[in-house]
Each structure stands twice: as structure tokens, then as C-alpha cells.
Chain A
Amino acid sequence: MSVIDIAKGMGLTLGYMFKRPVTVQYPRDKVQIQPRFRGRHHLLRHPDTGLEKCIGCSLCAAACPAYAIYVEAAENDPANPVSPGERYAKIYEINMLRCIFCGFCEEACPTGAVVLGHEFEIADFRYQDFVYRKEDMLVGTKGSKWQRREAEAKGKDVKLGFEAGPRPELEGVDY
């Protein structure tokens, strides 16, 4: 190793001092997330009717390699349906501690009801708080359980620490 080699290396290092840093001052600054990033799940609704897309078929649970999803279906009341058709998900739960965010559930879903969104700030304190129920994932619910608890305590809106480009599958999801 010669002095020239050392100078080359140091030069490379020195060069980076004049480039824009890639480190983001999270949570003060927002992270830029790729559109196809796989974060926590959203349960979507049909934008025109407002009915849930989920029909409770449990195919996501069947596809899940981590056994993180539990679905219990029930029959729609024709006068007051939850979803189009006869069947809807009475209980829909995802255990975010078990979930490996592989996206198989999204692929298995015949109606495009469950889509992995961009939210990744789902750290929490108690095991039970990692089990996300239907109301925690339906469109219109912003933020993780913990973020929503904190926002409620402070009386402020949920503040998300990221920005992401649009993704057509996330129909109706607005960050």
C-alpha cells in the first residue's frame, strides 16, 4: 500500500463531504418512501358505494405464511349490507408481530380489499396492541394504534413520519 492509495481513499471520503447527505433527520423530517413499499395493511372500500371490498373469504389467511391473519365471516343483512354480496368479514384481525410483510395476502385477495400501505411506524408496548382489527385498518384510519393514541391524548392530528408517491392499488387511502 502506497501513500498514493491512502490519498485516493481520503479523496473519496472528502468528496462525499460536498454531496447532499442521505441521512434523514427522522422524525423531524419526513422519510421519502417508494410507492411499492410494504407497510401495514389497509382495508379498502368501494369508492362509489362506500361498501367494504372485503368479503370475508379468508384467502388472505390461507396464503399467509406466518399465520398472522384471522377472519370470521358472517352473512350480510340485505337491507344494510357491509359489503356487496352475501358475505362480509365480521372479524378481521392481523397480528402485526407475526406479519412478515410479504404481501401474499394482497396477492391472494380476489377483491383487492387488503393492500399493504406505507405506514411503518407501528412499534408499540403491549402484545395485544399489535393485533390490528378491522377498524384499525379500514380506509380513513390514519396512523398506527400508538400514533392514534398519542394524537388523541394530545388533541392533535396524527403526524406521519413519511411521504410516499401514489400507488393505484391504495384506492382511497389518503395520508
Chain B
Amino acid sequence: MKVRVNDVELDLAPGTSAIDAVFAAGGDVPYFCSQEYMSPIGACRMCLAQVGAPRKERDGSWVMDEATGQPKIFWFPNLMATCTTQVMEGMVIDTLSERVKTAQNGMVEFTLINHPLDCPVCDKGGACELQDRSYEFGDGLSRFQFDKRHNEKHHPLSDLITLDRERCIQCKRCVRYFEEVPGDEVLDFIERTAHTYIGTADPGLPSNFTGNIADICPVGALLDASSRFRGRNWEYDHTRTTSMDDATGAAIIVDARTGRIERIKAALNPDVNKTWIDDGTRFGHEYADSPDRLTTPLIRRQGKLEPATWDEATAFIAERLKGLSGKDVGIAIRSDSTLEEGVAAMALAEELGTGQLDHAPRPAATLIGNQVATITDLATADAILVVGDLTEEAGVLDLRVKDALKGVTPPTLMPHGVPIADLRLKEHMPRQREILTVAAPYRVDLMRHAGATVRYPAGGEAAFFRALGKLAADANALLGEADEAAAGMSTGQARALVARLAAAKRGVIVLGGLALNRRESAEAARALVKAVGAKELAVGPMANSYGLELLGVLPSHERYGYAGMLDGAKALVLSHLDPAQDGEVAERLRGKDLLVVHDIFMTETAHLADVVLPAASVYERDGTVVNLEGRFLPVRAAPVDAGSSTDLTGVARALGEAMGKRLEGRSVRSARRVLKKRFDIDFAELPDHGLLPRAKSRGPVKALAGEVAAGTGNVLVVPSMARAEYLSRNRHLAAAVGGNRLRVNPEDAVKHNLTGGAEVRLKVGGTWRQAVVHVTDGVPRGLMTIPSLPEQPVGLAQADLAGIVVEQVRLEVAS
């Protein structure tokens, strides 16, 4: 419909807000309360403009202006908040008149009445919407001669978020955020008028997505507690990159200063994470700045690891490799290595002539199904089945599932980007809970939002999918009592779920790590996907699991996989992997002829190594990752000071030089030449939002990863958002989530004499794990859960419960 904004004629879609009309016309109005992905409510009154529209006679013709012969414009008597005004045919919007300017100026003055003048000490200073808008639209004077409102300056809302109540301008963004995005009503306004403040009913912020409110706060009221006073906004080096903490590939901005990462903020990627990231991604970076990072190579001389130069280290490796047959060398990289690092590892394996090449952790089933859904498919789905704990495995997907529950399709991009006010979004929208079914062996967070939940016995993914598959094949089939128990649902429940999935036009089945780590369950799941005509979204264990499988960083035979090479190979090159945490594996590693470890810390394995090479953390690499939907996303290196550490391409270059060869993956550029041939994409020019080309894999994966035995166990190793191996070094995050949680049923806690909050050590499989006991009825009796390590496959494991060592008893923090 035709709209005129300050003499610019526009043709806009019906339903567009007036504020978007102004921005689409290249104009500008100030605003504080509107946010791209939340309901517009017109709380701040900053986006005022003069709005008018023609009127119709009773017969449907326009009321004409006799002087001009044009339809007469009837101006609204008062200025309108453009964010809540919808455009109409023939609407005229004026943002430049004196009346509008006076109103904007007045609103700035009014907003500043109770806003303290502490910009110099405020962490938002320099990147503050109120500061910028005051300069642009205020006239720099205040006529308010009384004392400003005084309130609490430093209120810790949680371990991660600090609230300054004086600075709050009551835009309601944070309150709306919690209700609309993660769907937890956590914050609200308390008291009225100038006494209004933001508060919670219970202490703490019980959500995995609390950090986003620091990003969307237009002033410095809500701040990231982990980066408090670390630097001013203009002092940071901003690096826009992709999160490597989970498989969704959320867009982030890494802010570094003087060689340290000080904070991580969410960036915009409309197709992936919108502007939201989870707390694990935002606060899980502190380990990269640990003082115990490796900064120089180490070589074992006379039984002791001693510092050396890269030349010495690579010469040492090359010398030792000469005495070995190339086939006896195993190379394993962690699944959050970039594609470029994958090329380097493949080039190294090819040079040595070994088929013992793998990435770990790798699920037993392939991640590249036939009907891979995109994240947008998930957000617009009309039936969703989630198997696993999505909130912990891939937080962004959890939020996108909740988008689907609202039933609002993602907005169409406008000339100025994402629409600022999407009028289809409302506060307290009804959610179509019935479209979501969540299944897991224990209670997961997403179940609170699901229409139906299934709690099947641990390890029962295959039985669960087979039961559904049986009903998908024959709707009248009946499940036996044993089948019902194994699948955790009645025939009726299963039939309803299958009917919903089959009837849906855009059904999506999300497979978590537990479903993928057993071949039979993944096969049953994919049979179900095919039978009901849905799409699947397989959540890989790490950031680039999909990409490394697509690229083919895979062993030539199943027995040469990661687990096999720990046994079979005579020499090992391990990047970011620490298998020696398992005592038995450590024994085997001691017997290796050569053990090269490329890591960022002195891990258990590094202590056994002949050569230790300092590695770049995930924030310090240039490269490309492929997220779970197959989207190629750019990763850029933040300026972090970590000595002579380098990623795997640097290792390939140095080692290649020592061997007298120029390997293909010797630099990011050289690796990208290889990748261009493989995928026909110029990775140096990859857009920020990524590319989704649906690259074909090289046929089905022949050498599947070893799977955990189906047998029984008493501890379920579960995939997790917070990187368990680094959690103790992530001070703020560890304080907030309370360490690696060993979740125990109250009855089991009594049985094993465990109290909530106790710090314990227990042997899960062969690995000693440190954990904090968390007593909850969310886990069934006879089962405990613990977050996985990259080296520890998810699934059931046997733990020595009699041998739990209680190290320290703390008081349970309410959570």
C-alpha cells in the first residue's frame, strides 16, 4: 500500500509498522523499547511522529481536499508512537516538523530526569542507545532542578547479570524478552510511576538465556557481570565470528582488549540465531584467557617435557616419524576444528599414507540425513518432535522451537534489515503447545513448553522410534505392554504423535546426541522421518561435526577410527583431545612410539606426550564451520595473546617444512584452495550470514564411529551446552550453573548418602569425573546424569557408585 514519509513515496506490504515505513524511506526516528524480534508496545514514547491518513465517505470514495483535488489528509490530533501504528493506504508520516522535534527533545529530557549522569563509569558508555539519542535528539539542557531518583546501583540479578536500578528507563525490553523469547516469566516491573523497578520473585535468573538482556538493554541497567569494568566499548577489538560452542553456529561478536577476550555478545543472523545466544556461548570464553595456556612447544628430553621452539619440535617429530611406517600413525582432531584444519589433517594423513584419520567426538550414526531441515524450517514447523535435551545441546534451537510455538513466520527483510517493529508479535501470545512433543529419558527444560512429553527408559531411543515407526506403518497396530514400557508411552499417545507428524505439512524431528549415538536408534528415527514425511535436524556433538563429516575427515576403515587408533596406532597426533583421562587408555598411550598432542592446556594426555604443540583456542582461528543444517559459516580470529600457539594449519606448515614438503593445508589460504575445488565456494568471501548450498557428501559414510554398547548403566552421560572440560576455568559460568552437575534422584541421594551441592569425584567408565551433586526428581530412580566430555561418548555408562568420593559439602544454592 502507498505511504508517504516526508515526501518519499513508498509501496509497503500491509501490516508494516509506521516506524519501519520511516526507516524504509531512509528516515530516522529514535526508539528505545522496540526490538526486532519482540512485540512492539510503545512504552518509551520516543518514536513519536505526526501521522495522518485520508478518510472515506460512506459511499467508499475518498474525502477530497477541494483546494488540491487530492484526498484530504486528516492528521491524528496527537503525535503517534510509530512502532505501534500500522500503515494504512495513503498514510502520511511526518518526522521532520517542529512539533515532532519538540516532542522528541521533550521525551529525551523527560527520560533523562531520573537517569544518573554516570556515563564515565558505565560499561554501556560509548555504545548506549540513550547516550546516542540524547546527543542526536536532545538539546543538552535539563530544567529538572531536584534530586534524581536514587536506587540500588549494584544489584546482582544472578552471577552473570548485574542490574543498576537507577539507570533503568522502563522500556520493558528485558521483561518482554523473558516472556516472549525463552518463554519464562522471570522479570517484571515492581511498584509504580517513578518508583518502578525491575525485579524477580525469586533470587537468580533461572534460564539458559539470561545474557541476552544485557545486549538488548538500551541503557546500562543490565550488564554482563563477567566483563564488568573490563574496558570501554571503543577500546575493544570487535570480531564478528561464529560460535563454536555448539552445532547451531550462532553469530557472535568477540570483544577483545590487549590480547584478552573480555566479553562475547550476540550478533544478528536472521536465519540462525536471530539476535539471541545462550549463556554457555556468551560466558563460556574465560578459559581462553587462563594463565595456564600453553604458549610454546614442549619436547620430552630425558623423560621431562622442556620448552622448545617450533623448529625444534617439528624437527623432532619428523625425525621420529622417519623410523615409523606412515600407516602406523593415527591422526585425530576434535570435532570443533574448522574445515581448513580438516584439510590440514587430511593432507598430513595423505602425506604419511595413513588411513587412521578421524574426528572425535563423532556419533555412531551419520549426521547428514536425506531430509535435513533448516533452522528456519524448525521455526516455522507445524509439528515438532524433539528427542533429547535441546536446551543443553543447542540452546539456539530451543529458542527457535519456541518461535514455532508462536506460529509467527520470520519477518521479511526490509531495505534497512530486519523490521524494527513486527506488529504480528504480541505480549503474552498464545502458544500452540500441542505441536511440540519432547521425549527424553529424564526431565528436560523444553518439556515445560511441550504439549506432550515422553519419558522413556534410559537407552530406549531405539525402542521409542521403533514403536512410533510401527504405528506410522500401520495406524491400527497395537504396542505390546513390553513395547509400551520400553518406549515410555502408551499406544494411544504414540498414535496421536504419529498422526500429528503425518498430518503436518512441515513436520520436523530433532535428534539429540542420545538418539544419534546408537546406530539402531538413528536408523529407526530416520525410518520414522521417511514414514511420516517430516524433515530431520540432527544435533551434532560439536560445532563442526557436520562439516568434518561432509569434508570426509574419516578413517578408511571402521577399525581405524578414533577408538581404534588409540589401541592400534604406533604413533598418534591428537588435536584438542584428551583420551588419557581414562586410566586404561592412558596406559596404552604410554606404550606409543610417538605421541604428539596439540592442545591449549597441559592435559592428562599432554603429560604423557613426546611433543606438545600449543594450539589456538576456538576464538583464535580463521576458518569455516558447517552448522547442523549444512550452512557454511565464517569463523574469524579474535586478537588473543597466546604466545606461539597456532591452529592445525600452522602445524601442517611447520611439520611439512620439517619433512621437506609443502602440504596442501599449510595455511588457511592454501586449505581454502582445496575447499574451493571440493565445494565450489570461495570461503574467503563467505558472507556473515553464511551460505546454505546443500553440499553433497561423498556418499554414505563407510566407516562409522564405534558405538557405545547397548547394555545397561547407572549413569547417563548427556550432551551439554557448557563445555564440561573447561567449566572449572570459566569462573562466572561455573558459579552460575553450579559446576558440572551430577543429577541424582532424591531416593538415590539418600541411598548413596549424597547431599545436594556436595562436590564429588566418581569414576564414570574409566574416567574420574568431578561434579557437583544436584538432587532433583527430574531424573528417574536408579539413574544419574552427568555432562559429557568430548572424549566420553554420550549414553549409558557404568559408574562405581560405591566409590564416590565426597570432597566438599556445600549448601545447596537455590536453583
The answer to the question of B506 belonging to the interface, with a C-beta cut-off of 8 Å to chain A, is no
Q: Are A57 and B232 in contact (CB under 8 A)?
A: yes
Rounded to whole Å, the gap between the CB of A74 and the closest CB of chain B is 6
Interface string of A78-110 (1 = CB under 8 A from B): 000000011100000000000000000000001
Asked if B232 and A62 sit within 8 Å, CB to CB, the answer is yes
> Do A87 and B121 have beta carbons less than 8 Å apart?
yes
Provide the residues of chain B in CB contact with A144, threshold 8 Å.
none
A56 in the interface (beta carbon within 8 A): yes
A105 to B232, CA, bound (A): 16
Contact between chains at A86 and B153 (CB < 8 Å):
yes
Whether a CB of chain B sits under 8 angstroms from the CB of A171 is: no
Q: Given the interface contacts A58-B235, A62-B234, A86-B154, does A73 sit within 8 Å of B120 by beta carbon?
A: no
B229 and A87 form a contact (CB under 8 A): yes
Q: Does A138 contact B (CB under 8 A)?
A: no
* A55 proximal to B (CB < 8 A): yes
B228 touches A75 (CB 8 A): yes
Q: Contacts of A72 on B, CB cut-off 8 Å?
A: 231
Any chain B CB within 8 A of the CB of A59? yes
Distance (whole angstroms) from the CB of A49 to the closest CB of chain B:
17
**A-B contact count, CB below 8 Å?**
33
Q: Total interface residues on A, using CB and 8 Å?
A: 16
Interface positions of B from 356 to 384, Cβ below 8 Å from A: none
Report B229-245 CB contacts with A as 1/0, cut-off 8 Å.
Answer: 11110110000000000
Tell me the bound Cα distance from A18 to B120 in angstroms. 57
> Would you give the shortest CB distance from B549 to chain A, in whole angstroms?
44
Closest to A75 in B: B229
Q: Which residue, B125, B229, B232, has most C-beta atoms of chain A within 10 A?
A: B229
Closest to A111 in B: B120
Complex alpha-carbon distance, A139 and B19, angstroms:
53
Nearest-CB distance from B157 to chain A (Å)?
Answer: 16
Given contacts A58-B235, A62-B234, contact A85 B229 (CB under 8 A): no
Q: Indicate if the CB atoms of B121 and A57 lie closer than 8 Å.
A: yes
Tell me the nearest residue of chain A to B229, going by C-beta.
A73
B118 interface hit (Cβ, 8 Å): yes
Give the contacts of A21-78 with B (CB-CB under 8 A).
Answer: 55-59, 61-62, 72-75
Given contacts A58-B235, A62-B234, A86-B154, contact A74 B118 (CB under 8 A): no
Q: Is the CB of A85 within 8 A of B232?
A: no
Question: B120: which A residues are within 8 A, CB to CB?
Answer: 55, 57, 59, 110-111
Interface residues on B, range: 10 to 19
Give the Cβ gap from B256 to chain A, nearest Cβ, in Å: 14
CB distance from B734 to the nearest CB of A (A): 19
Q: Do A85 and B234 touch across chains, with their CB atoms under 8 A apart?
A: no
- The residue in chain B whose Cβ has the minimal distance to the Cβ of A55 is B121
Residues in A whose Cβ lies below 8 Å from that of B153: 86
Q: Which residue of A lies closest to B120 (CB)?
A: A57
Interface 0/1 of B112-135, CB less than 8 Å to A? 000000101100010000000000
A56 to B234, CA, bound (A): 14
For the complex, what is the distance from the CA of A61 to the CA of B118, rounded to whole Å? 18
Residues in B neighbouring A87, C-beta threshold 8 A = 121, 229
Question: Nearest residue in A to B126 (C-beta to C-beta)?
Answer: A62
How far apart sit A72 and B229, CA to CA, in the bound complex (Å)? 8
Q: CA of A85 to CA of B125 in the docked complex: distance in angstroms?
A: 16
Question: How far is A62 from B120 in the complex, measured between Cα atoms in Å?
Answer: 12
Which chain A residue shows the least CB distance to B154?
A: A86
**What residues on A are CB-neighbors of B230 within 8 Å?**
73
Most buried by A among B120, B154, B228, B234: B120
In the assembled complex, the Cα of A73 lies from the Cα of B228 at a distance in Å of 9
Q: Which residues of A contact B235 (CB under 8 A)?
A: 58, 61-62
Closest to A90 in B: B229
A62 to B125, CA, bound (A): 12
**A residues in contact with B229, CB < 8 Å:** 56, 73-75, 86-87
Residue of B nearest to A59 (CB): B120
What's the Cα separation between A72 and B258 when bound, in Å?
A: 10
How far is B118's CA from A111's CA once the two chains are assembled, in angstroms? 11
Chain B residues within 8 Å of A59, by CB: 120
For residue B234, which residues in chain A have a CB less than 8 angstroms away from its CB?
62
- A76 CB to closest chain B CB (Å) equals 9
A interface vs B, CB < 8 Å? 55-59, 61-62, 72-75, 85-87, 110-111
A-B interface, 5 closest residue pairs, ranked by CB to CB distance from nearest: A57-B120, A73-B229, A87-B121, A110-B120, A58-B232
* Interface residues in chain B, defined as those with a beta carbon under 8 Å from any beta carbon in chain A: 118, 120-121, 125, 153-154, 228-232, 234-235
- Sampled A-B contacts (27; CB under 8 Å): A56-B229, A57-B120, A57-B125, A57-B232, A58-B232, A58-B235, A59-B120, A61-B235, A62-B232, A62-B234, A62-B235, A72-B231, A73-B229, A73-B230, A73-B231, A74-B229, A75-B228, A75-B229, A85-B121, A86-B121, A86-B153, A86-B154, A86-B229, A87-B121, A87-B229, A110-B120, A111-B120
Known A58-B235, A62-B235, A74-B229; further 6 A-B contacts with Cβ < 8 A: A57-B120, A58-B232, A62-B232, A73-B230, A85-B121, A87-B121
